[in-house]
Chain A
Amino acid sequence: MPQAATAASGSGPTDKDESAGLQMLEIKNLHAKVKGREILRGLDLSLKAGEVHAIMGPNGSGKSTLAQVLAGRDTYEVTDGTVTYQGQDLLALSPEDRARAGVFLAFQYPVEIPGVSNNYFLRTALNAVRKYQGQEELDAVDFLALVQKKMQLLHMDEALMKRAVNEGFSGGEKKRNEIFQMAVLEPRLAILDETDSGLDIDALKTVAAGVNALRAPDRTVLLVTHYQRLLTYIVPDYVHVLSAGQIVKSGGKELALELEDKGYQWLGEPDLVAGA
């Protein structure tokens, strides 16, 4: 079963050539507000399959808002613009349908859910995704085999599966659990919201290795981060700078180093940039 799943999920050698370079996500003129305050002010972004993009920016620039809007959080109101995911209108989908269609958000602050075991939660999630994608649901045995494989990747303790989702986890364990979930769910578009925050260097390396292992020609990773540090371990193809709700600069991985060196002020006052 797991073998069939791997082939069906599109990471087989024949799919690679077909999907690499295809349009994954197209964001045009995205405006979004929360509690009446406009956060995203005409954001444009284009991601192709197989690419890793990093979005950097100062606090309050709208990075997390973008991540939440893409995942479908209803506290953010999209007031203008379009988001096209693999040819379909992403904004028209419910959060669960986005997840089932292959969008994954690694939360900046993963939520603790007492009373729900990781095991139940993740198997239910995986089977919801598989069902939506026309694949056979995994039984407990096959699921366990899959989980064991993925846990090794993230150096995680199997006892964690019996514990409640994120309950009592340290900050690092929560972040690792997010990447573990991602590894199990095998999304097409992975959005990592400040996954590096609160991680010590060892945990950061583990998480980065987990993400790198998932890099594939048919998968796109969008890293949202404040610091360049993460990008040493997950090297992006493109770096974008977000300021006051717009992408103000795009470039290759060297842009991140430049930002680290010169700071965000180098790009000018955020308000001036936004007003331009």
Chain B
Amino acid sequence: MAMLGLKDATTGVYTNYLARFAGQEPRPAWLHELRRQAFGRFTELGFPHHKQEGWRQTNMAAVAEAVYEPQPPPPPARLVPQLRALELPGVDWSAGATRLVFVNGVYAAGLSALGPEAAGCRIGSLAERFATTDLSAHFNHADEAGQAFVQLNTAFLADGALIEVPAGKVLQRPIAVLYLTLGTSGAAARGEAQGIAQPRSLVLLGAGSQAWVIETFAGLESERYLTNSVISIDLGDNAQLEYTRIEQESGRSVHVSKLRTRQGRDSRLVAHNIALGGGLVRNNVHSILDGEGAECTLNGLYTLTGTQHVDNSTVLDHAKPLGTSREYYKGVLDGKSVGVFNGRIIVRPDAQHTDAIQSNKNLLLSDSAATLSSQPQLEIYADDVRCTHGATVGQLDQEALFYLRSRGLGLEQSRKLLVYAFAADVLGRVRTPGLREKLEALLWARWAV
């Protein structure tokens, strides 16, 4: 590992990763090689610096300086009640549901279940496939070579969800995936290791198949840890997927994620991104419309309080003609929170007749303490396209507030009702059976009195 420690060697942090990297169990040759190369790239890249393009508003210095070790899970007798006590709209514990649970990124068979629909599909732990199948093509995308967190994830690639739906199969019930990361509680002592999980997941939809997938990221209250998640989704021609990621991490955690989607001809993807928790959050989305007539909707909601920092950086990549993309992100910012939205739309030379609309709307609840940065970025290399974007930052409508109060609703209740109403259309786009109602109830409880 001669490439180790170019600029951060003095902190000893890379030594920590190197020691862990060297200690990894031997795996199939393809995986070992994949990880080795990824670790090499990660050490060359280093953690993103806040002077680096795309990271100016989100400083990852705290992550670069911290030491992370997976925290041993408590015995199931203690963990299960804790887990069940969490209000997780995306997780269905009832019988017949398909549910994959990962603790610290490792498959927890005892907490997972496969419903009747899973029969005919390949749904389960990714690690179980390693021995028999070389999956490197799915983990080694050229467009991710320069992304340090993806490389770090790959360097420690061990497990995650594998969802493979064969061509033509239409699933009725959602597949729920829960990632629980355990951390450390109490004050952070200098040099003390925090928890970490780096799940890696893969969703492959065969031509003409249809599915609903819900990913939930959760932690236990006020624990410290880093979740660095990567998921790759591939939709065959005419496939349809509604994918929801619900981020409910602990308020003292760091959550970094990468969602990469590739769509075939006439496929349809709706991807919801509901960010509710986390202390420092960076979500990267790269949606590639790689077949003619593909449709992609990115629908996002972030609700921030206290000192939360949530950065959504999305790239909608129109590579083929006649693609349609819709991006609707809404944020509600309270306290001293910081919201960042970077929405990039690329229309490649081949992608004629692209129709892309991007909208980012924000509601600032506190007078001046919360800040929001919204940046659209259009790169259009085709001449016959329609691309629009718009961003707004506003406060509660005083006219509406007075109207509600003039009918007898209290000030606080009126405020919460208007906040809920602001977010309602984002939730209204959720079509996954049973999910919208649960999300609405959760947000209602958060905002309504």
> Taking the nearest CB of chain A, how far is it from the CB of B156, in angstroms?
43
A96 x B410 contact (CB < 8 A): yes
B408 x A115 contact (CB < 8 A): no
A105 x B406 contact (CB < 8 A): yes
B420 x A115 contact (CB < 8 A): yes
A125 x B407 contact (CB < 8 A): yes
> Taking the nearest CB of chain B, how far is it from the CB of A117, in angstroms?
9
* Chain A residues whose C-beta falls within 8 Å of the C-beta of B131 in the assembled complex: none
C-alpha spacing A79/B422, complex, angstroms: 36
**Is B328 among interface residues, defined by CB-CB distance under 8 A?**
no
**Is A116 among interface residues, defined by CB-CB distance under 8 A?**
yes
* Chain B residues whose C-beta falls within 8 Å of the C-beta of A126 in the assembled complex: 408
* Chain B residues whose C-beta falls within 8 Å of the C-beta of A75 in the assembled complex: 398
**Is A72 among interface residues, defined by CB-CB distance under 8 A?**
yes
B421 x A96 contact (CB < 8 A): no
**Is B413 among interface residues, defined by CB-CB distance under 8 A?**
yes
6 inter-chain pairs at a CB distance below 8 angstroms, sorted by A residue, are: A96-B405, A96-B411, A98-B406, A99-B406, A104-B406, A115-B425
> Taking the nearest CB of chain A, how far is it from the CB of B410, in angstroms?
5
B418 x A96 contact (CB < 8 A): no
B425 x A99 contact (CB < 8 A): no
> Taking the nearest CB of chain A, how far is it from the CB of B405, in angstroms?
4
Interface residue total, chain A, C-beta cutoff 8 A: 32
> Taking the nearest CB of chain A, how far is it from the CB of B402, in angstroms?
6
Map CB proximity to B onto A62-74 as digits: 1 under 8 Å, 0 otherwise.
Answer: 0000000001111
* Chain B residues whose C-beta falls within 8 Å of the C-beta of A85 in the assembled complex: none
A96 x B403 contact (CB < 8 A): no
**Is B424 among interface residues, defined by CB-CB distance under 8 A?**
yes
A111 x B413 contact (CB < 8 A): no
With both beta carbons as reference points, the residue of chain A lying nearest to B403 in the complex is identified as A111
With both beta carbons as reference points, the residue of chain B lying nearest to A125 in the complex is identified as B407
> Taking the nearest CB of chain A, how far is it from the CB of B367, in angstroms?
16
Contact of A124 among B397, B413, B422, B423 (CB under 8 A): B413
A116 x B421 contact (CB < 8 A): yes
Contact of A113 among B406, B411, B421 (CB under 8 A): B421
Known: A115-B420, A115-B425. A185 touches B408 (CB 8 A): yes
**Is B171 among interface residues, defined by CB-CB distance under 8 A?**
no
Contact of A99 among B400, B407, B421 (CB under 8 A): B407
> Taking the nearest CB of chain B, how far is it from the CB of A123, in angstroms?
11
B408 x A111 contact (CB < 8 A): no
**Is A170 among interface residues, defined by CB-CB distance under 8 A?**
no
Q: For chain B, give the interface size range.
A: 20 to 34
A115 x B421 contact (CB < 8 A): yes
> Taking the nearest CB of chain A, how far is it from the CB of B208, in angstroms?
36
Contact of B408 among A99, A107, A110 (CB under 8 A): A99
> Taking the nearest CB of chain A, how far is it from the CB of B338, in angstroms?
25
A125 x B408 contact (CB < 8 A): yes
> Taking the nearest CB of chain B, how far is it from the CB of A255, in angstroms?
29
C-alpha spacing A150/B144, complex, angstroms: 62
C-alpha spacing A95/B417, complex, angstroms: 17
> Taking the nearest CB of chain B, how far is it from the CB of A182, in angstroms?
10
Q: Which residues 201-257 of B sit at the A interface, judged by CB distance below 8 A?
A: none
B406 x A121 contact (CB < 8 A): no
C-alpha spacing A29/B69, complex, angstroms: 74
A128 x B400 contact (CB < 8 A): no
Contact of B409 among A98, A112, A128 (CB under 8 A): A128
**Is A100 among interface residues, defined by CB-CB distance under 8 A?**
yes
A110 x B425 contact (CB < 8 A): no
* Chain A residues whose C-beta falls within 8 Å of the C-beta of B397 in the assembled complex: 111
**Is A129 among interface residues, defined by CB-CB distance under 8 A?**
yes
B403 x A113 contact (CB < 8 A): yes
**Is B143 among interface residues, defined by CB-CB distance under 8 A?**
no
Q: Which residues 167-206 of A sit at the B interface, judged by CB distance below 8 A?
A: 181, 185
C-alpha spacing A99/B410, complex, angstroms: 10
With both beta carbons as reference points, the residue of chain B lying nearest to A110 in the complex is identified as B403
